[in-house]
Amino acid sequence: MVNYNNNSVLVTGGRGFIGRAVGKVLRRSGYAIISLDQTPVEQFEKQKCPHEIVCDIRDAAELQRVFETGRIGGILHLAAILPTAAQREPLVATEVNVAGSLKLLELARRFGVRRVVFGSSLSVYGTCPADRVMSEEDRAAPEDLYGAGKLYVEQLRQTYACDALSFVSLRIGRVVGAGARSATSAWRSEIFELLGAKQPTEIVLPYVASERLLLVHVDDVAKALVILLHAPRLEHAVYNAPCESVMVSDLKRAVEGLNSNIRISVGEGLAAGNPRLLDCSRFQEEFGFQTLPIFQQLHSAAKDVKP
């Protein structure tokens, strides 16, 4: 039996895009990590985290065994069925995103976890007027199963948060960066991964050129989540993750300008179900947090891949 110390952090969805980035930040910060995911470890590259657990959060008994193995001080809850898959398989999505989260919070309370940080989503706001800057004070109005599930879990705080257990949510926008492994939104990684292309390469960005997207780099999301994990005191229960509103046409121009072999094809989609403009000042001011602009991130990535 492995004994985890009081500094252990359980990361659900630990082998996902954000989960892997969070693991790197946690290791640099000296945390012992318990990485939990339902995908077998052998399907991905070997992780540096020594405690990789294959577990489906829908299985209450299996999940309880994870908590019984050793003391868990904090939880970063990132496991979820994503929007496209949720629409395709609503039963599975509800079992994982809602019922699984509920089981996790029950165990967190029973086993004396100090803080749960929940990876929520800007989709809780639903579709907003193009010129409306959304803040945490605005009323949530999700339009799909994924967003509704995220809002439900946020509202569980009213039941589970207490003096012993702190529960905070970070509402995250569209996450970009290398390594997303997304079948439905491949562009989020391709704009970084293909910057060194030596042959003509097409990236499909399925939004109209005039659309605005709220983007955040995966490394910045990971840092923000860990900040919420170890902050001595939290002024609020919900924070918008620092995001940047980027126009599709500007993103196309920037990426194509970094490599003449890349051509970005735009589509006819709109940013339905999400805001276009966001007030992130609550998180930025409380924690003194600033992100590197996306175009600077792209420029830096392009320099790294050039011979």
The model's confidence at residue 181, banded by pLDDT at 50, 70 and 90, is: confident
Q: Say which range, 31-40, 91-100, 148-157, 192-201, has the weakest mean pLDDT.
A: 31-40
Res 3 pLDDT > 50: no
Please state, rounded to an integer, the average pLDDT across all residues of the chain.
92
Task: Kindly state the DSSP code that residue 186 receives in the 8-state scheme.
Answer: T
The three-class DSSP label of residue 15 is coil
**Radius of gyration in angstroms for the set of CA atoms belonging to the chain, rounded to a whole number:** 19
Do 12 and 79 meet the contact criterion of CB atoms below 8 Å apart?
Answer: yes
Predicted confidence at residue 41, as pLDDT, reads 66
Rounded to 5 degrees, φ, ψ at 115 are: -150, 140
Residue with tokens 């097409």: 202
| CA-based nearest residue to 119, from 82, 155, 57, 77 | 77
Predicted confidence at residue 43, as pLDDT, reads 47
Angstrom distance (rounded) from CA 12 to CA 37: 6
- Taking residues 253-257, what's their average pLDDT? 97
Predicted confidence at residue 7, as pLDDT, reads 66
**Percentage of the chain exceeding pLDDT 70:** 94
Residues in the chain: 307
Res 71 pLDDT > 80: yes
Res 4 pLDDT > 50: no
CA torsion, points 67, 155, 130, 269, in degrees to nearest 10? 50
Res 245 pLDDT > 60: yes
The full set of domain ranges for the chain reads 8-174+216-240, 176-213+245-273+292-305
The model's confidence at residue 204, banded by pLDDT at 50, 70 and 90, is: very high
Buried b (16+ CB within 10 A) or exposed e, 95-107: bbbbebbbbbbbb
The three-class DSSP label of residue 254 is helix
**What class, spelled out in words, does domain 8-174+216-240 have in CATH?**
alpha beta
Residue 31 parent element (H or E): none
- Taking residues 177-201, what's their average pLDDT? 93
